Structure 1
Amino acid sequence: MPPAAETEPSPSRPRLRAAAGAALLTGLLFCLAGRLAGSHPLGSRTRNIVDLGQQYLPYHVHWRKLLLGETPGDLFLNWTSGFGSNFLGDFGTYLSSPFALLVVLFPADRPELALYVITAAKIAGAGAAMAALLLTLRRGPWPVAAVLGTAYALSGWTFNYGASVPMWLDGLLAFPLLCLVGEWARQGRRPVLGPLVVALAWFANFYTAYMATIGAALVLAVRLLTEDGGAAERPGEDPATRAASAERRPRLMGLVRAVRTVLIGIGLAAPLVVVIFLGTKVADPTPPTAFAPAPWTDVLARLLPATASVATPALFIGTPALALALTLPFNRDVPARERVGWSAAIVLVALSLQWEPTHLLWHAGASPNGIPYRQTFVLCGLLLVAAWLSTARGLPRPAALLGGGALLAGAALAARGSADIDRWTYPAVTASAALAVLAAGAALRAGRRPGGRLLPALAVGLLLAAQAGETLVTGKRIEEQQLSKVSWAPRIGPWHTDMARAVAAEDSWPRHRTDPGEVPGGNDVLIVGGEGADYYSSLTAATYSRTLAGLGFGYYAKGRHPVSLDNPVTDAIFSIGTRMRSTPSAPLDPDRLPEARITVTDTPVPPLVTVHPRTPGPARAGAADSAFTRQELLLGHTVYDVPDAPLRTTAPDGSTTLTARCPAGSRVWFWAPEYRGTAALADAQPVGFAGKQPSVLAPMQQLGTTPATGAVRIDLRPKSQAGPRTPAGTEPEAGPRSKSQAGPGTPAGTEPEARPRSKSQAGPRTPAGTEPEARPQPKPRAGSPSAPKGGPRPKLPEHPIGCLVPERLDAAVRQLTATGATDVRTTGHTVTAELPPGSTGTAVLAVPRISGWRCAAGDAPLVPAHSRNGLLAVPLDGRATSVTCSFRPPGLRLGGATGAVALAALLATALLHRRRTRAPEGRQEFTPREPEPRPAEKSAA
């Protein structure tokens, strides 16, 4: 007769059933919630809110093109946006998850469907991993583990944060996986697979993996303090010695193995993590943010269904699951050490969300702008572990159920005054609680009649109905509330596809750039192609942002989203020979595909590489700090007339008039980066400006042509005074929620309830505002601070008017073309240009001088590139007839060396483990554990 342990079913079978059940249930409920909300692809309404539409979707479209060889860049460099940007850092922030590879399985015109499937797959994977973890921590009924795993995957955190910032979902999946790694380390199992799982988690999204690692460390600490033993038995070890060290040695060795596993795993991911870390160091920095804890009333409200906010922790896990978690302190069937340990861990983690030092610890020392509770998924996971530990042996006794129910009722009662409470909240709680009570009754009756199977199945079914109903209501309401409160981008439609075809037909890279201009959404240049200035990333280099802002470009998201500038001088500087312009057919609508009429304009421009005197000419006297002068310095020619100190007259109603003189026929450009309102030449159509520091910088715009008299008069009407003359285009400040990446890959919105107008309704494009953490640019000197009686004077730079003389610009373009590169070639991350013989001075490449560029003239070795007013520059001595510049992401060598050391440590660990387990009775790497005797259960449910 074999031992009883060998006759029991393998413990891996219930785990597989629970994981599969949780994955299927999670995917089904997530899709049903989207269908109820009417969101694409199960409805007509756009899902492209905040980061989902502004970053995640465009980057996945670009990723598909890169994998299929349809883009001029490579994994190091993105030529499509930002005039050339560090793509490896963006890859690690948005695309390094293995799930992102699924995008190649979908047609090019269905990227939103691909992204929806990727999002659903990540969420389903998180549910499966949690269900497997629960059955690893304690044996019990696998259907209940599947339901609780689904509750974790579809928590309020997922609907409110993760579904709109899908790169964070890798952390949701990483937490239960890292907890499993902790169990393996505690038991001395899988020393090779453990580091690989850690490496994969940190590689997929190191920002949330960092939080998940902290959470897994807490779980391991509780397990080490509450579980007896746990070390694998070593062959030949003296039983007496083992007994003497039963309390200390297993715990110490488990801790050492866990630390070793995490260090090796992070080291294996270092080639990417170091690149991202150094990328954040040179990115446009975020303004300092003071953490303010949320009121406890609002915190308690977020435990309830159908609540949404970026200012409070999204703690909803379902009323039945929460009630079961709250029974743990009262459940005497659970050992006292476990009850105290897990309850204390949950309380401490909850308090850590509200205390600034621990808040900074959770966010790697940088308090994010916007969502301050990104680590909430860890607390949700701990609550579900508590629910499982209190239920795995059977339904808690009535006294424990009453205790948990009383805590839940008290929390719901205390939260009634919170502004986060929705009209669906308390009806959903009531219905779910009623079903939970019926489930408890069925389970209790099943405990008294152990022979029947109907009542246990009924109890699980009622539990599932209660959880599923609340989840569907929560998912539906959160999607509806987000769409009404935050900025959004329309679905990909005819506007995008028509623009992509036009760009493909006209693109002449690298002979010159093609800029698609305005497209309905942020970062959509990645969708339609070309080589424009538009660029939105957590890692937008401060050098790039400052350079473009100084030239008169605008930005959103406090500098991390520079946008295109339709200006002939900057087109000449950056070699933009083809420019697309769009006229929307109708205002943007979340339920309608965008359409527009597209026009194409070709203009002669210098090549990508031009030759300038070694020393720039002297700056314009009196206007050295103006955007017009900075444009001329990069162009190397004087093309503007900049009136000195235009006369300003302010009326009692707050309107202001500027008067100056310019050459007749010149084009009048107005530069007022912080101005918010309209500007118009006399009797001309007003033009909207949307400056709102520190989040939005207004670009310079053309107002018209100077009349024959040479007199220029500009009427300004600030927004507060704009009245009926204000066009539908003066409110495009960046939308609320966003990725504040105080670490990469995270949203931050400082105005969570303000919804900006969509671009076709609101002038310059407003991104989903997901990155409001960048430091504001230095403010230009303004005029007199005195204010009229009718309101404050508009804040303007000292030289806001520039009059462009077309003949001067044409002459400058001809000269730069004659002396510039005769041939330009590019590869994925390299530029090579042939120059006229005898070229002297400085070769200037129309590429931002971000960290990582190395250049050389002729056959000289590559050295860190010089900068010419923010662009790449290579000194020439008259002998070299070519220049070469190559980009290597900063940190790649250091990360590669660290990864090599970690790989050697992993191989050494594998060899050592193999020697120790070479004996026939030793446990091998993938050999399942010998099952422990199953504890008696009070109820099959």
Structure 2
Amino acid sequence: MGWLTTRAVSLAAGHARSGAVRTLPGGPVSPATKAAPDQGNPASTAGERRPPTGGAWARGLRGAGGRLLAHARRSAATRAGLAAAVLACVVFCLGSLLAGSYPLGSHTRNIVDLGNQYLPYHAYWRKMLLGGADGDLFVNWNSGFGSNFLGDFGTYLSSPFDLLVVLFPADHVELALYVITTLKITAAAAAMAVFLLRLRRGPWQVAAVLGVAYALSGWTLDNGATVPMWLDGLTAFPLLCLVGEWARAGRRPVLGPLVVGLAWVANFYTAYMATIGAAIVLLIRLFTADESGRRRLRGLLHAARGVLIGIGLAAPLVLVIFKATKVADPTPVVVFDPVAWRDFAARLLPATTSTATPALFIGTPALVLALTLPFNRAVAARTRAVWSAALVLVALSLNWEPTHLIWHAGASPNGIPYRQTFVLCGLLVIAAWLSGADGLPALPALLAGGALVLALAAAGHGREVVDRWSYPAFAAALLLGILAAAALLLARRRGPGARVLPVVALALFVLAQGGETAVTGMRVAQLQLKEVSWSPRLGPAQDDMAAAVAARDDWPRTRTDPGNVPGGNDEMVVGGQGAEYYSSLTADDTSWTLSELGFGYYAKGRHTMSLDNPVTDAIFSIGTRMHSQPLAPPRTDQVPRAVTTSTTSAVPPLVTVRGGLRLVEAKQHWDPSAFVNQETVLGAKVYDPAAPIVRTDPAKGSAVLTTTCTPGAQVYFWAPQYTGDATLAGGRPVGFDGHLPAVRGAMQAVGTVPASGTVKVALSFVGHLRLPQQSIGCLVRSRLDAAVRQLTATGATDVRVDGHTLTADLPAGSTGTAVVAVPRISGWRCSAGDGHATSARTYWGLIAVPLDGGADSISCSFQPPGLRLGGAVGAGALVCLVATGWWYRRAGRRAGARAEAAVA
């Protein structure tokens, strides 16, 4: 998470077990003392520390010893963090190498949203940072005919790691994304390793390996690595746990809120889950510590203050995302379906993948250590009982709908339902550390933990998620773990080779954890390519399209639409200004407007698609339309190649002037026919009047639609729910793929009306045939050309776009309504001439500005909803942070003065 993460981790390392005495408001903070075996808390003390005695010489010796001890502990934490980062990087890359995934192999990594969202967003982010994008931080003009980019930025790109994309060439954005993903994983490993040493003393090597176990859990390999924004939550969890430790001790009152704020800015969604997880850890720590109730309450209040200030600092971005979510295209309500507990157990095994079950794998040796905690008598009974109960309750909370909704902020998500699993993985790793930090658990505890692991593995046998590699990898890791434990047991006897055996045990432990995790990464990558949708790597097809778009770009006079290049969010990669747009925040107004005009979509409305239609090209001022014809079917191990062509047509300017318009709420007045809706928005009749359509069914799975149209007209077929082929007599089949509510089929041209005027469209399909009343439209091009000439003659004489502001010069004396070919999403404010800017009006989903004849220009500006309120909350939080820092500094000086006076 950038410099602040580095600073937080280094400070945590520097103050883990610090022996310095500090007095802060709320009570003195005792130095770290050796942890009682029954508490697992080296920072707890039984009472106040007595003032040192023995004179200045003794005090000097004690001070030197304390500094040496503190330096040794800082060194251990630093070594653990560095070792965890390096090992996590090596293991993750090894998994990619074994799978043959890019950049260490030829196969694509662009699984589902990784290729359709995160890759193109990073390509656009790079262009924006370097000054080559058609927009700014507020508006993305490339996608969805103009979208709220600040909301998307906060959802996908606000992690400090994402800034690293500027260090890579434009044609290596995929490599940049892989490096960013790897760095996030290594940061999570380092943060967890440092936190474990802050939690309890122990061998830094073991802390490093367990940090890797957390950072490369099944959740990371199966979910986080293909949804990189979630990885910021993976890093946030141990950092927020560190903030909780600082709060308990009354330390770092300024850095703590900054870490919270950074976590929520980087990815508020998983930071919310990480905050819940850190709160659970803090409550466990407070309950198991040998402290007074007053001290516990004080620590809890310190933590609450830090979290509230931190979230307040993130409010300018979080509230923008919240507001954008409120107006986003609503997806169908998801009812949570708990997974079978045997599947739950199966996901503890290596080499499993599934989007419907929680990815709980943390490595067999780490899991055995975690499950020894309830039986490890070297750990205090209260600690064992509370941590064991917490693990069970958190596991149950994943699979119970009320708590499932709490974990997901009140709404069950579409897609992966167990997104909070990384918190449970982290708690399991913490349990493993608590049980193993003081050395290998006793043999009875090891046997009990091993028996539990074997029972869970047996429970998962035969489940669908289990892979052919799962049990062999599990057995190999378990065997290596047993050999490591045997080496440590032999070393206790002080026989020959006693010094070498711990090193051998550590090597076996690393090999077991790292090898099993690398195999899991390999199999997850391979299975995902077989079981879920993927996009090809970026290659010559995108490069050629980008060059062609740049050569023909005429923005903002007209738009250039690159069409549907392989992948999603194509405009972000190749440039242009089209309809395609895929985001969790796709505005409902945008999706609805385009759908009613005959556009198609994926992802239940949140992935709008381009539409090759002259009428909508005229409506949205698309002067150049690109076409990409693949040279071969896409393959996972090859880059795409295609032939790029373009067509140019006369279209009206981006701003047109209409007379006598009635501005109404479009959703209440759309016609059932997309052809009628296109004519309404365009303001002219360009299709033949609807003629009766006769349907005949010559055989099962086939039908013929017959109607009459003007000879020479272009025939379009529109059926949003239709899946199959449509063939105009004498023409070629055209494929349609409509599966409402997930996929809406787009309107497509099927041919030209013959001289006879009779139109026969043959349909070939599987299942039931569902067609709208007017599924065939015949476009008369001469009528469209006349409409375009009229709109051009009365439209804007000049259009300028500067970031999130659009201005247009109009013919003198223009009256009626200026219609801007941009979806009217929340946040647009417009004015005519020098008039006062008000919330933009709507004309069938587009921006509309009333004219009175006295204005010869219009101006529209976009401000993301929630930014003003978020800015106010953020400013208030900043004031509270400064005041907190000032108060603590002032109180610290007073306490220091009193201490000096007492010594004197």
TM-score calculated relative to the size of structure 2: 0.91
Is the contact made by 1:614 and 1:875 (CA closer than 8 Å) also made in structure 2?
Answer: no
Residue type matched to 1:557 in 2? Answer: A
> Equivalent residue of 1:476, what SS?
helix
Partner of 2:132: 70
How far is the alpha carbon of 1:921 from its aligned partner?
4.6
Which secondary structure does the structure 1 equivalent of 2:676 belong to? Answer: helix
Instruction: Please say if 1:31 is aligned against 2:93.
Output: yes
Instruction: Give matches, 1:329-344, under 5 Å.
Output: 329-344=374-389
The secondary structure found in structure 2 opposite 1:669 is: strand
Q: Which residue of structure 2 aligns with residue 732 of structure 1?
A: none
Equivalent position amino acid for 1:890 in 2: P
Select 2:762's aligned residue among 698, 701, 715: 715
Alignment match of 1:814 (pick from 778, 789, 803)? 789
Q: Which of 638, 661, 680 in structure 1 is aligned with 2:708?
A: 661
Unaligned runs of 5+ in 1: 230-246, 721-791, 925-941
Could you tell me which residue of structure 1 aligns to residue 738 of structure 2? 691
1:556 is the counterpart of 2:594 = no
Assess, with a 3 A threshold, how the Cα gap between structure 1 residues 623 and 34 changes in structure 2: closer, same or farther: closer
Instruction: Identify the residue that residue 266 of structure 1 maps to in structure 2.
Output: 311
Give the aligned partner of residue 704 of structure 1. Answer: 751
Question: Does structure 1 residue 912 correspond to structure 2 residue 887?
Answer: yes
CA distance in 2, matches of 1:613, 1:651: 49
1:643 Cα deviation (Å)? Answer: 2.4
Q: Secondary structure at the match of 2:365?
A: helix
Residues 77 and 87 of structure 1 are in contact (CA less than 8 Å); yes or no, is this contact kept in structure 2? yes
Looking at structure 2, the residues matched to 212 and 290 of structure 1 have their Cα atoms a distance apart, in angstroms, of 24
RMSD (CA atoms): 1.7
1:901 is aligned, of 876, 884, 887, to 876
Matched, 1:301 2:362: no
1:243-290 deviations in Å (ceiling 9; x for gaps): xxxx11110000000000000000000000000001000001121111
Q: CA deviation at 1:616?
A: 5.2
After superposition, give the CA deviation of every residue in 1:804-832 in whole Å (9 maximum; x if it has no partner): 00110111111111100001111000110
Of residues 517, 532, 536, the one that matches 1:490 is 536
Amino acid at match of 2:846: L
Residues 642, 799 of structure 1: 8 Å contact kept? no
User: Which deviations, in whole Å up to 9, do the C-alpha atoms of 1:385-432 show, x marking residues without a partner?
Assistant: 000000111110111111101111111111112111111111111111
Give, in angstroms, the shift of residue 228 of structure 1. Answer: 1.9
Q: Is the 8 A contact 2:492 2:498 kept in 1?
A: no
Tell me: CA distance 1:923–1:634, structure 2 relative to 1, closer, same or farther (3 Å): farther
SS in 2 for 1:134: helix
Residue equivalent to 1:321: 366
In the other structure, the counterpart of 2:268 is 206
User: Would the alpha carbon gap of residues 141 and 568 (structure 1) be closer, same or farther in structure 2, given more than 3 Å must change?
Assistant: same
Within a 5 Å distance, the mapping from 1:291-690 to structure 2 comes to 291-449=336-494, 452-615=498-661, 624-690=671-737
Give the match's secondary structure for 1:578: strand
Distance verdict in 2 for CA 1:342–1:909, change over 3 Å = same
Q: Distance in 1 between matches of 2:661 and 2:582?
A: 33
- Note the C-alpha offset of 1:23: 0.2
State the shift of 1:919 in Å. Answer: 4.5
Aligned partner of 1:251 among 284, 296, 301: 296
Q: Return the offset for 1:636.
A: 0.8
Whichever residue aligns with residue 863 of structure 1, its letter is T
How far has the Cα of 1:562 moved from its partner? 0.7
Contact kept, 8 Å, 2:560 with 2:624, in 1: the verdict is yes
Shift of 1:444: 1.7
SS in 2 for 1:640: coil
Q: Distance in 2 between matches of 1:290 and 1:920?
A: 56
Give the secondary-structure state (helix, strand or coil) at the position aligned to 1:844: strand
User: What is the identity, as a one-letter code, of the residue corresponding to 1:885?
Assistant: C
SS in 1 for 2:486: helix
The residue type paired with residue 69 of structure 2 is E
Classify 1:467/1:623 alpha carbon distance in 2 versus 1 (closer, same or farther; 3 Å). Answer: closer
What letter matches 1:679 in structure 2? A
Q: Tell me whether 1:8 sits opposite 2:73 in the alignment.
A: no
For residues 840 and 660 of structure 2, the distance between their equivalents in structure 1, rounded to whole angstroms, comes to: 15
- Determine whether 1:45 maps to 2:45: no
Amino acid at match of 1:813: V
CA contact 2:691–2:708 (8 Å) conserved in 1: no
Does structure 2 retain, via aligned residues, the 8 Å contact 1:616–1:633? no
Normalized per residue, the structure richer in helix is 2
Residue 234 of structure 1 corresponds to which residue in structure 2? Answer: none
Counterpart for residue 823 of structure 1: 798
1:197 matched to which residue of 2?
Answer: 259
SS at match of 1:717: strand
Give the equivalent residue in structure 2 for 1:244.
none
* Cα distance change of structure 1 residues 657 and 923 upon mapping to structure 2, 3 Å threshold: farther
Pairing 1:157–2:219 present? yes
Q: How far is the alpha carbon of 1:7 from its aligned partner?
A: 4.6
2:834 equivalent in structure 1? 859
Range with bigger deviation, 476-485 or 638-647: 638-647
What's the % identity of the aligned pairs? 65
| Aligned match for 1:143, one of 190, 205, 217 | 205
Q: 2:118 aligns with which of 56, 69, 88?
A: 56
Per the alignment, residue 242 of structure 1 pairs with none
Cα deviation, residue 12, structure 1: 1.7
> Against the structure 1 CA distance between its residues 268 and 923, is the aligned structure 2 distance closer, same or farther, given a 3 Å change threshold?
farther
Aligned to 2:182: 120
Structure 2 CA distance, aligned partners of 1:228 and 1:917?
A: 25
1:892 aligned partner: 867
Cα distance per residue 1:820-877 (max 9 Å; x no partner): 0001111000110000011111000000000000001000011000000000000011
Kept in 1: contact 2:663–2:841 (CA 8 A): no
SS at match of 1:880: coil
Kindly indicate whether structure 1 or structure 2 has the higher relative contact order, using CA contacts under 8 Å at least 6 residues apart.
Answer: 1
What does the per-residue CA deviation read over 1:632-691, in whole Å, with 9 as the maximum and x for residues that have no partner?
111111100132331111224231111111111111111111111111111221111101
C-alpha distance after superposition, 1:157-204 (max 9, x if no partner): 000000000000000000000000000001101000000000000000
Equivalent residue letter for 1:462 = L
- Relative to structure 1, is the Cα distance of residues 906 and 449 closer, same or farther in structure 2, using a 3 angstrom cutoff? same
Instruction: State the shift of 1:600 in Å.
Output: 1.5
Q: Distance in 2 between matches of 1:296 and 1:117?
A: 36
Residues 923 and 564 (structure 1), Cα distance of their counterparts in 2 relative to 1, 3 Å cut:
farther
- What is the CA–CA distance in structure 2 between the aligned matches of 1:36 and 1:683, rounded to whole Å? 51
1:712 is matched by which residue type in structure 2? V
Counterparts of 1:129 and 1:373, CA distance in 2: 23
Q: Secondary structure at the match of 1:641?
A: coil
For residue 713 of structure 1, report the CA deviation from its aligned partner.
1.1
